[in-house]
Amino acid sequence: CPLGPALLFVKTSQGKEEGRRFYACSACRDRKDCNFFQWEDEKVSETRLAAREEYNRNHQPSFTHRQNVERYKNFLLLPLSKRRFCQECQQLLLPAEWEKHSDHQFLCDISVAQLKSPSQLLYPLENKKTNAQYLFADRSCQFLLDLILDLGFRRVLSVGTPRLHEMIQSKASQEDDFRIRSLLLDIDFRYSQFYTEDEFCHYNMFNHYFFGGEAARETCRKFLYQDNGERVIMVTDPPFGGLVEALASSFKKLMAIWKETEKEGHNNQEMPMFWIFPYFFESRILEFFPSFSMMDYQVDYDNHALYKHGKTGRRQSPVRIFTNLTPSMIVLPAEEGYRFCAICQRYVSSGNQHCEMCNSCTSKDGRRWKHCVLCKKCVKPSWFHCNNCNCCALQNHTCEKSDAGCFVCGKAGHKRSTCPNLSHT
């Protein structure tokens, strides 16, 4: 499909062992955005293949990345009064194109500062299920960058983190002694208007597809190889509706590229990584990356009503940092109440109490959790032990009779509608 190789899914229905397998778009969770569909065993005729190829060609952006870089250079040469940005087409306009966009809304006098903050200029693609673009609040972005600096990293592979990339790029161009570099990999091609081919690759993180082909892949490889692959970290903040399995597979491929540097010393190491994702995906992420642990830091967003620091007291964000770095190295800000647990050897949120019985700081959501002796673990403060279900749950839950497990994944503790493994099917 236009977003690169499709993924193989399986349709299962209750009770049946084997489901029928089919290919569908890797990135679009809404059939309205991409309706690619093919049974695994389906024979596709030559004419349909040709039509598909044509369709894919027609659904590529109107300018190539190279052309956009050229356009940007020309745009910079224009006097301020001639620098326009079409809000409807989300495109920098050259004077010859004004005519064509005459009945569109546009911004004028685009300054260099604005060009250096494309994430402010472009509107976030939040409505589309495909992009789910939620930008870091300044506080969180600054925290991530400071952390990366303190840990001594010099290069950041920014996978779906345009705002972090932007912060790094703009500091690098302003401060002489700022040594960090970043390469942005993102599916949002609008960014190609603002970054060169060494700064941005059009990339799909659900199928590890570089739209720019071998040249783009090489850019990424070179970036990871610099200084023998030392002092590089990957930071990613994927759409939360995304399939963890597909993401993990792509991230492992990026890690494998890094590993090929085979520098002595890190033969058995993994490329350092921050994977930013909601806490309720913890078990899924650990399934694919057993070396990871979840940090208590709550990541806040600008355009996400639920996940941001309200003016009136704090809304709790469920988004966390998962990392393969040693947890004790990830220092969380004391001003925000985080403190070090000497037993767990990691920083925890202020409400997170060390439980003697679990021998760990057990809260996942920042509130103080309580230990249930019957469940032999800590549970949310709002839960009570239910003798019917033989586990803790909300007071007003409806008791499950025989098998309390989830219909999708078989695990206990949630129902089908809230299953973290729920995908296309």
341 — phi, psi (to 5°)?
-100, 115
Contact pick of 34, 92, 255, 295 for Zn ion (by CB under 5 A): 34
Neighbours of 123 (CB within 10 A): 13
CA distance 287 to 304: 28
Q: Which does 164 bind (CB under 5 to 8 A by kind): ligand SAH, Zn ion, none?
A: ligand SAH
Residue ranges in 13-42 that form contacts with ligand SAH under rule CB under 6 A:
27
Q: In the numeric block, which tokens belong to residue 274?
A: 């921050």
Contact pick of 156, 185, 201, 361 for Zn ion (by CB under 5 A): 361
User: Residue 323 forms beta bridges with which residues?
Assistant: 274, 293
CA distance 275 to 235: 6
Rg, the chain, Cα only: 24
Residue partners of 256: CB distance under 8 A and separation at least 6: none
| CB 19 to ligand SAH: min, Å | 24
Q: Do you know the residue count of the chain?
A: 425
Strands (E) located in 165-215: 181-186, 200-204, 209-210
| CB 73 to ligand SAH: min, Å | 24
Contact pick of 49, 256, 334, 374 for Zn ion (by CB under 5 A): 374
| Nearest by Cα to 200 from 187, 183, 181, 218 | 183
Q: Which does 366 bind (CB under 5 to 8 A by kind): Zn ion, ligand SAH, none?
A: none
Contact pick of 7, 34, 205, 379 for ligand SAH (by CB under 6 A): 205
The residue nearest ligand SAH at its CB is 160
Which is closer to ligand SAH, CB of 128 or CB of 371?
A: 128
- Which of the stretches 68-76, 83-91, 279-287, 333-341 binds Zn ion when contact is defined by CB under 5 A? 333-341
Which is closer to ligand SAH, CB of 128 or CB of 414?
A: 128
Q: Cα–Cα distances in Å, from 318 out to 198, 278, 315?
A: 34, 5, 10
Amino acid (one-letter) located at 31 = R
Residue ranges in 253-312 that form contacts with ligand SAH under rule CB under 6 A:
none
Interface with ligand SAH includes 115 (CB under 6 A)?
A: no
Footprint on this chain of ligand SAH (rule: CB under 6 A): 27, 131-136, 160-164, 186-188, 203-206, 237-239
Contact footprint for Zn ion (CB under 5 A) = 1, 3, 25, 28, 34, 341, 343-344, 354-355, 357-358, 361, 371-372, 374-375, 378, 385, 392
